[in-house]
């Protein structure tokens, strides 16, 4: 049995990182050390993951028993415009963290994406060959390889479209639809045009955090999960369908028009459904119904920011 005392969450101030810190905090016997890029407070340590020396110093100082990498450049359009930044955050930082983790005997979990697949032959199993079609997917796939090259005591957790408790609408591609929907409900306003081409599987970050805690508990009991794992929500929907649910939850008469073909500047895969059977077979997982999770997110978002 591996006694877990300290767990580092890299990127603790982000959408997923905040959920992970909250969930791991339910274990009173675990000390969670979060990092944030822009600033540190009483809950987080400042860490620029583009600086290898800073990563090595952080791990040496805090000696975590496990590390969760929730920091990344996840915006496909930004990755296309700035592939060097995408590589620094999604590949080289993962390599440096995993190398430092191995040196200290820590298990490391790195979050990846369904965009490592081209979206033509779903559902995708963990052993299906990746074939990314944009810079974001390529950088995350290279990050997966960097992890495997750096340590044998590590796991990649691939995830699809995420949503959760936000500090601004744009934090998630789900909630980012809301402002256009609100605007479309105004008198004489044009309809909000929403993609009705790509199928997505929106996944609640609270559920992802619960899965990560379960994975950490298996490591604690001497059964580390290594290699590749998938987790995903189970409700397929397009952005058009997501938008209709958001409008209903907000109680607004939004005018929404479906866009039947992809209009994205950066190519996106059409359907990257992830097969989560590996974790399910281990009795790991939780799926909150989308409408229930969405309601909790909207209810918790300050009214003056809507």
In the chain, the number of structural domains is: 1
Q: Are strands 66-69 and 31-36 parallel, antiparallel or unpaired?
A: unpaired
Looking at the domain assignment, is residue 46 inside a domain? yes
- Of 215, 92, 76, 235, nearest to 157 by C-alpha is 215
Q: With respect to residue 183, please indicate whether it lies within any of the assigned structural domains.
A: no
Structural domain that includes position 21: 6-166+202-235+271-288
Pairing of strands 162-163, 192-195: unpaired
Q: Give helix then strand counts, H and E, for the chain.
A: 11, 11
**297 in any annotated domain:** no
pLDDT digit string (tens) for the chain, length 306 residues? 667 889 999 999 999 999 999 999 999 999 999 999 876 666 799 999 999 999 999 999 999 999 999 999 999 999 999 999 999 999 999 999 999 999 999 999 999 999 999 999 999 999 999 999 999 999 999 999 999 999 999 999 999 999 999 999 999 999 999 999 999 999 999 999 999 999 999 999 999 999 999 999 999 999 999 999 999 999 999 999 999 999 999 999 999 999 999 888 899 999 999 999 999 999 999 999 999 999 999 998 864 555
Helices (H), ranges, the chain: 15-24, 52-62, 76-81, 83-87, 93-103, 135-150, 178-184, 205-220, 239-250, 277-281, 290-300
CA 98 to chain centre: 18
**Whose CA is closest to 116, among 234, 274, 238?**
274
User: Tens digit of pLDDT for each residue in 46-96?
Assistant: 999 999 999 999 999 999 999 999 999 999 999 999 999 999 999 999 999
Please give the radius of gyration of the chain, using alpha carbons only, rounded to the nearest integer.
19
Alpha carbons 207 and 232: distance in angstroms, whole number: 9
Which of these, 153, 205, 174, 181, lies nearest to 16 by C-alpha position?
Answer: 205
Look at residue 84 and tell me if it is in a domain.
yes
* Residue closest to 23 by CA, chosen among 286, 300, 290: 286
CA distance 134 to 113: 12
Residue 123 tokens read as 């559902």
β-pairing, 192-195 with 107-113?
A: unpaired
Q: If we measure between CA atoms, which residue out of 270, 268, 271, 284 comes closest to residue 229?
A: 284
Would 49 be classed as within a structural domain?
A: yes
**Is 108 domain-assigned?**
yes
Quickly tell me which residue has 């607004």 as its tokens. Answer: 252
Tell me, yes or no, whether 139 lies in a domain: yes
Give me the CATH number covering residue 90: 3.40.50.720
Q: What residues does 230 pair with on adjacent strands?
A: 158
What does pTM read for this prediction? 0.96
Q: Is 225 exposed, middle or buried (0-12, 13-18, 19+ CB in 10 A)?
A: buried
d(CA 140, CA 72): 9
The single-letter DSSP state of residue 115 is: G
196 within some domain: no
Report pLDDT digits (tens) over 40-59: 666 799 999 999 999 999 99
């Amino acid at each position: 049995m591996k006694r877990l005392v300290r767990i580092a969450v890299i990127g603790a101030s982000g959408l997923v990182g905040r959920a992970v810190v909250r969930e791991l905090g339910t274990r009173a016997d675990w000390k969670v050390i979060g990092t944030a890029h822009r600033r540190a407070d009483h809950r987080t340590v400042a860490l620029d993951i583009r600086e290898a020396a800073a990563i090595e110093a952080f791990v040496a100082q805090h000696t975590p028993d496990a590390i969760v990498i929730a920091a990344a450049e996840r915006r496909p359009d930004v990755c296309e415009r700035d592939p060097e930044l995408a590589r620094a955050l999604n590949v080289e930082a993962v390599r440096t963290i995993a190398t430092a983790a191995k040196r200290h005997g820590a298990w490391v979990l790195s979050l990846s994406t369904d965009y490592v697949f081209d979206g033509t032959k779903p559902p995708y199993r963990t052993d299906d060959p990746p074939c990314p079609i944009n810079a974001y997917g390529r950088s995350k796939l290279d990050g997966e390889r960097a992890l495997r090259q750096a340590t044998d005591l590590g796991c990649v957790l691939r995830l699809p479209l995420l949503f959760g408790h936000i500090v601004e609408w744009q934090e998630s591609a789900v909630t980012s639809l809301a402002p256009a929907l609100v605007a479309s409900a105004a008198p004489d306003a044009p309809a909000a045009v929403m993609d009705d081409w790509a199928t997505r599987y929106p996944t609640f970050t609270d559920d992802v955090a619960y899965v990560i805690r379960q994975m950490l508990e298996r490591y604690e009991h001497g059964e580390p999960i290594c290699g590749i794992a998938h987790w995903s929500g189970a409700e397929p929907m397009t952005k058009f369908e997501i938008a209709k649910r958001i409008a209903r939850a907000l109680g607004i008469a939004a005018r929404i028009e479906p866009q039947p073909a992809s209009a994205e500047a950066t190519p996106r895969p059409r359907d990257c459904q992830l097969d989560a059977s590996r974790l399910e077979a281990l009795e790991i997982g939780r799926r909150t119904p989308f409408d229930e999770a969405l309601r909790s997110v909207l209810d918790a978002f300050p009214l003056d920011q809507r």
